[in-house]
Amino acid sequence: MIHNIKEEEIDNKYKVAAFYSFSPINEELIPSLLSQIRSLAQEHDLRGTIIIALEGINGTICGSNNGITAMHKQLNSLMLAPPLDIKFSFTSKQAFRRFKARRKNEIVTMGMDGINPNKFSGKYVEPKDWNAFIDDPQTLVIDTRNEYEVGIGSFQGAINPHTQSFSEFPRWVEKKLRPLLNQKHPQKIAMFCTGGIRCEKATSLLIKEGFEEIYHLHGGILNYLAEVPIDKSRWHGECFVFDHRVALDHSLSPGVHRLCFACGMPLSPEDIQKTNYLPGIQCHYCKELFSDDDRDRFRERQKYITEIKNRQPSNNNWPSA
């Protein structure tokens, strides 16, 4: 399924495609598929990451419209079932520094056996129906993303599991969600994530564990922002993305957050104004995490980045913060 935004005023801009499919991939096909993907990415100067596993494909790539179309066509030739769920957005700068295609055990790491969204997963809720669905007091809404992602934006009233990685989600379900359901007795559970892949796998987990009436936002936050007008939106803040744009606003344009180059945490304009923020060296999240030797290395790296940007102002391989 393709989720589009309006392709207005995108001359000289890069196209970003985020996609996944929980469609089984034959073990014998993976080496040749990775080789084909790498060759195609080099031919079209595509950058980003594509992950292949026995359970399917997951990726986010950035490049020209022709390049994105060529990769989409290549992946569609696999006759994936279900087909790729793909979202597009645009940016004036290349969103990634390099291209990687690799084999992994899972396309999104949960670390549990027997979780198969291709065989059992929750029911989709389309973006146009999401507001009414989560407004229902009998619906328990769960944000399946990580703590730092939730911190810069979410749907109002959504439960934050306070996880640092998706692999912590199963433990949260067992330790926290079960007692919560015994307390609240909701009729439905609705989950969401950035592009749909984590919440889809999370629904598979809950169904396997015996939970009922499980739903998830089709296409994730990115699809919701693309299809729901801002004046009708229940979304608050920005949506973190795993590339140089850092976060997107409701128009799917790069937002105001920047990354700390030391620890990788997203920083608001207010965070950057704090006295303990040193560009490329530390922020208030990591000021106690690193040694003086670490900060010396970060300082040298930052000097190099600054020199590159001064010599090549048009070079967009480096983030702007």
Alpha-carbon distances, residue 85 vs 61, 76, 82, 186, 206 (angstroms):
14, 11, 8, 29, 22
Residues β-bridged to residue 85:
20
Phi/psi of residue 51, nearest 5 degrees = -115, 130
Q: Considering 72, 103, 134, which residue would you say is the last residue of a domain? A: 103
Is there a catalytic annotation at residue 193? yes
3-state secondary structure of 148: helix
Please indicate, yes or no, whether residues 96 and 6 belong to a single structural domain of this protein.
yes
Please indicate, yes or no, whether residues 175 and 227 belong to a single structural domain of this protein.
yes
3-state secondary structure of 65: helix
Confidence of residue 310 (pLDDT cuts 50, 70, 90): confident
Mean of per-residue pLDDT scores for the chain: 92
pLDDT at 23 over 70: yes
Does some domain include residue 133? yes
Please indicate, yes or no, whether residues 152 and 97 belong to a single structural domain of this protein.
no
CA separation for the pair 244, 195 (Å, rounded)? 17
pLDDT of residue 257: 96
Confidence of residue 192 (pLDDT cuts 50, 70, 90): very high
Provide the domain limits for residue 295: 256-311
Query: H helices within the chain, ranges in order?
Result: 30-44, 65-76, 127-135, 147-150, 169-172, 178-184, 197-208, 220-227, 269-272, 292-311
Which residue is catalytic, options 62, 193, 199, 260? 193
pLDDT at 40 over 60: yes
**Mean predicted confidence (pLDDT) in 298-307:** 87
Contact present, 153 and 240 (Cβ < 8 Å): yes
Please indicate, yes or no, whether residues 231 and 263 belong to a single structural domain of this protein.
no
pLDDT of residue 79: 92
User: What is the pTM assigned to this prediction?
Assistant: 0.90
Confidence of residue 137 (pLDDT cuts 50, 70, 90): very high
Nearest to 122 by CA among 223, 197, 20: 197
Does some domain include residue 293? yes
Residue type at 27?
E
pLDDT at 6 over 70: no
Does some domain include residue 118? no
Please indicate, yes or no, whether residues 274 and 171 belong to a single structural domain of this protein.
no
Nearest to 86 by CA among 102, 69, 98, 101: 69
CATH number for position 180:
3.40.250.10
Please indicate, yes or no, whether residues 40 and 98 belong to a single structural domain of this protein.
yes
Alpha-carbon distances, residue 145 vs 71, 167, 195, 253, 278 (angstroms):
27, 11, 11, 20, 27
Using only the alpha carbons of the chain, give its radius of gyration.
20
Nearest to 21 by CA among 73, 86, 74: 86
pLDDT of residue 320: 47
Query: In terms of pLDDT, which residue wins out, 233 or 314?
Result: 233
pLDDT of residue 308: 77
CA separation for the pair 88, 19 (Å, rounded)? 9
Please indicate, yes or no, whether residues 187 and 148 belong to a single structural domain of this protein.
yes
Confidence of residue 176 (pLDDT cuts 50, 70, 90): very high
Provide, rounded to the nearest whole percent, the portion of the chain with pLDDT above 90: 87
**Mean predicted confidence (pLDDT) in 11-27:** 90
Does some domain include residue 109? no
Contact present, 226 and 4 (Cβ < 8 Å): yes
Does some domain include residue 202? yes
Phi/psi of residue 288, nearest 5 degrees = -105, 0
Contact present, 101 and 71 (Cβ < 8 Å): no
Does some domain include residue 319? no
When divided into structural domains, the chain yields a total of 3
Please indicate, yes or no, whether residues 83 and 145 belong to a single structural domain of this protein.
no
Q: Considering 210, 237, 264, which residue would you say is the last residue of a domain? A: 237
pLDDT at 54 over 70: yes
Please indicate, yes or no, whether residues 99 and 128 belong to a single structural domain of this protein.
no
